[in-house]
A and B are shown apart, each in its own frame.
Chain A
Amino acid sequence: MVHMKKRSEGALGIALLLPIITIMVILVYYPIIKTFSYSMQKMKLTAPQDTGFVGWANYRSVLTSDSFWYSFQNTMFLLAVVVVLTTVFGVCVALMLNVDTKLSGVLMAAAVLPWALPPVVNGIIWRFIFHPGYGFMNKLLIVFGVTDKPIEWMSSRFLLLFVVALVVAWRSIPFSAIVCLSGLRAIPQELYEAAKIDGAGRWTVFRYITAPLVRPFVGIGITAASISAVNIFDEIVALSGYSDLGKNLLIESYLTTFSFLDFGKGSALTYIIMLISAVLGFFYLRSLGKEVEY
């Protein structure tokens, strides 16, 4: 009897999952398998007769090109800067939103705004702010006497990448802050009260209660930020176009696929990006799966 019940239970459980499984298989898993098969083929659209299976040749040609490694470095630099900025400011914003004042409602809404901005408009705004001539940032810096000539933001590799990272961080902070804030709110008040009774100072409370309990949430924020850092596209195009200087792996993949019309090599590049994201995703899953004991 018990056994029977369990089996029918399991069947209902699976039945409830059927819609999501169908959606995922058709719209996600089938396409990525298909893309993998493209990546194993010679598929340059301007040479429609010359196609066929080439095994790992596309991957080899990608991995041995200087251009790939240059873009790879840029991707890694962006990853590091975006993650640091998003995490630091995400936590700060979360701490600020956690203070209950009359303003908090409005602040909360303001914090979410960057999330909803269409990417193109986002790009245009920042292009104006960091315009190499008399953009907003240059005007500010000149007014405050930091510089007397406009700074050419896009003319050196790491300055450009830093500006890109700043813009991406601006867009990813809302999510990170909200996840972090959820973590803060989830800490039971009793813990703080108990700590107070024990005579713990503010720092001790932060060190032994707040920090460890919020850490998994920060972990989620970090991984989400890293995934979006690996997938930066619109911001780079808005700020420096498809120039060699600031290109990351995604730009490289876009150029190969859509500009040079090499679908085979482009798919191989996309797959490499996906593998990098998947490694980050592994940590994501780990932090998602972690249970917090209060």
Chain B
Amino acid sequence: MKKRLLSILLCAALTGILVAGCGAKKNDDTNKEDKTTETKEITVMVPDWAVPSDDMLADFTEDTGIEVVMNVVGWDDIRDKVAIAASGGAAAADVIEVDWSWVGEMNSAGWLEEIEMSDEDKADMPTLETFTIDGKVLAVPYANDYRIAYYNKEHFKAAGIEKAPETWDEVYDALKKIKEAGIVEYPYTMPMNADESATTSMMWMAFSRSGQVFNEDGTLNEEAVVDALEFEKKLVDEGYTDPAIKTASGMDCYRKITAGEASFMVGPTKFVGLSNNKEECSVVGQIEAILLPGKEGTSDKTMPLPEAVGVTKFSKNKEAAKEFVKWYTSADTQKDLFKANSSIPTRNEVLAELIEDGTIENAGAMLDEAKLIKSPFPQGIPAYYSEMSNAIYNNINKMVLGEVSAQEAFDAMNKKVTELTSE
């Protein structure tokens, strides 16, 4: 009896699945119909934080007659998908996310379509330089990110320092005083784990201290890089950083400042907003964004790490895709995008407006710093960037773990970079 009951249950379950299955198929069919009736439809593949609101998209469709299908994909995974698709001569989507670090390889691989930009646009968007190779604009930045310094005013005050630090020497002295006064145990934080953020951190360190990272031929500048590495190592060895950050993910270590456990860091622009948000930050009101320190006085440049959208070569709707990119990076959309996702505008004009009207609070040196954006790559982002970065971050990590000296770490990464540049 029990068995029979079970058989019935099993049959019922199977029928249920059958119904669910058919339902699913029906859905597919209706989708298909939609596709055939619509003439202009484009797909856009971006990470979660770049998705415009439904209202914004509806407005765009109304104005242009172009339907937009959003493919929201994890940031890392976008690159994999684009690569697999492109290797088969297909487009993963018509419009894709292009991170600053991908633009070199995507250009060499021939995956991106050139985009026309007016000179005014170019002048107002300093990060556009990063996405321009051989005079061709390959993607248009929509979210700004550049390195800016943060310090905890209360910690500095408690150690008897009233003035915001302007040079790295002043930073070092402040860290020393804060640690000695026992205000926090580890006053400095910086990504040094073996991941991408350690590479960029070394780069802004060298960039702000020595004004350059690379030589004209794309190899590492020994003086600048060794100096940066030695300074990083000093901060670690003398105990100004939490030992945990050597192996915690780069992003986790930025949180030290919002947790009130670190007093100074150089980090993403986004922390301007985060340090003002009660849910994200336990020391609201204490953190101020200031200009990046340099050797003598504040640094006259900072490194951009923007994200852009580009049109794929294999797209079948290039014109519609370009129209989307134009709309998506327009001044008005940037304002809306800040409201929807707090992505920081790439147009300085819009950024200034948002800061002035108080939409961006606690901005500190944000706008001044934005005007100092410069790409550290003399010839644009190289095609071998990810392989180079892999060599750089692994050697930085070895260095902070105490396995090699700064010079040895440099020699190892330099060997790889030289090999890559000569290929």
Contacts and interface: CB of A to CB of B under 8 A. Distances in A.
B384 A46 contact: yes
A155 B246 contact: yes
A45 B80 CA distance: 12
Given A48-B110, A132-B247, A133-B242, A241 B195 contact: yes
B221 interface: no
Interface string A97-141: 000000000000000000000000000000100011110000000
Contacts of A263: 87
A121 to B, nearest CB: 14
B194 A241 contact: yes
Contacts of A173: none
Interface string A43-80: 10111100000000000000000000000000000000
Contacts of B387: 259-260
Interface residues of B, number: 30
Nearest to B395: A244
B244 A243 contact: no
Given A241-B249, A243-B194, A243-B394, A131 B244 contact: yes
Interface in B237-258: 242-244, 246-249, 252
B86 A45 contact: yes
Interface in A238-294: 240-245, 255, 258-261, 263
B390 interface: yes
A155 B390 contact: no
Contact of B390 (A48, A131, A150, A255): A255
A132 B108 CA distance: 39
Contacts of B80: 258
Contact of A45 (B109, B194, B398): B109
Contacts of A149: 243
B193 interface: yes
Interface in B77-135: 79-80, 83, 86-87, 105, 108-110
Given A243-B195, A243-B394, A154 B247 contact: yes
B302 interface: no
A261 B247 contact: no
A153 interface: yes
Nearest to B74: A120
Given A152-B243, A261-B109, A45 B83 contact: yes
A254 B249 CA distance: 19
Nearest to A243: B194
B397 A132 contact: no
A268 B417 CA distance: 24
A242 B390 contact: yes
A245 B248 contact: no
Given A153-B247, A258-B79, A46 B109 contact: yes
A45 B86 CA distance: 9
Nearest to A245: B194
Contact of B194 (A43, A240, A260): A240
Contacts of B246: 132, 152, 155
Contact of A259 (B252, B386, B394): B386
B365 interface: no
Given A259-B390, A261-B109, A133 B195 contact: no
Interface in B49-64: none
B401 interface: yes
Contacts of B79: 258
A245 B86 CA distance: 31
Nearest to B244: A133
B89 to A, nearest CB: 10
A241 B384 contact: no
Interface string B180-215: 000000000000011100000000000000000000
Say whether chain A's binding surface is mostly helix, strand, loop, or mixed: loop
B390 A245 contact: no
Contacts, number: 77
Contacts of A154: 247
Contacts of A48: 108-110
B244 A150 contact: yes
A240 B247 contact: yes
Interface in B376-410: 383-384, 386-387, 390, 393-394, 397-398, 401
Nearest to A156: B401
A265 to B, nearest CB: 12
Which one of A152, A240, A259 has the highest number of Cβ atoms from chain B below 10 Å of its Cβ?
A259
A130 B87 CA distance: 38
Contacts of A47: 108
Contacts of B105: 45-46, 261
Interface string A212-242: 0000000000000000000000000000111
A139 to B, nearest CB: 13
A156 B137 CA distance: 44
Interface in B307-351: none
A48 B386 CA distance: 17
A48 B109 CA distance: 6
Contacts of B249: 127, 241
A245 B390 CA distance: 12
Contacts of B384: 46, 260
A255 B185 CA distance: 37
Interface string A138-162: 0000000000011011110000000
A245 B193 CA distance: 11
A152 B390 contact: no
A132 B243 CA distance: 8
Contacts of B393: 243
Contacts of A260: 384, 386-387, 390
Which one of A45, A46, A131 has the highest number of Cβ atoms from chain B below 10 Å of its Cβ?
A46
A150 B195 contact: no
Contact of B108 (A43, A46, A242): A46
A269 to B, nearest CB: 15
A132 B83 contact: no
Contact of A46 (B194, B383, B390, B394): B383
Contacts of B243: 132, 149-150, 152
A244 B386 contact: no
A255 B391 CA distance: 12
Contacts of A258: 79-80, 83
12 contacts: A45-B105, A46-B384, A132-B244, A133-B248, A150-B243, A152-B247, A154-B247, A155-B401, A242-B194, A242-B390, A258-B80, A259-B387
Query: Nearest 7 pairs between A and B by C-beta?
Result: A243-B194, A133-B244, A154-B247, A132-B244, A46-B108, A244-B394, A241-B195
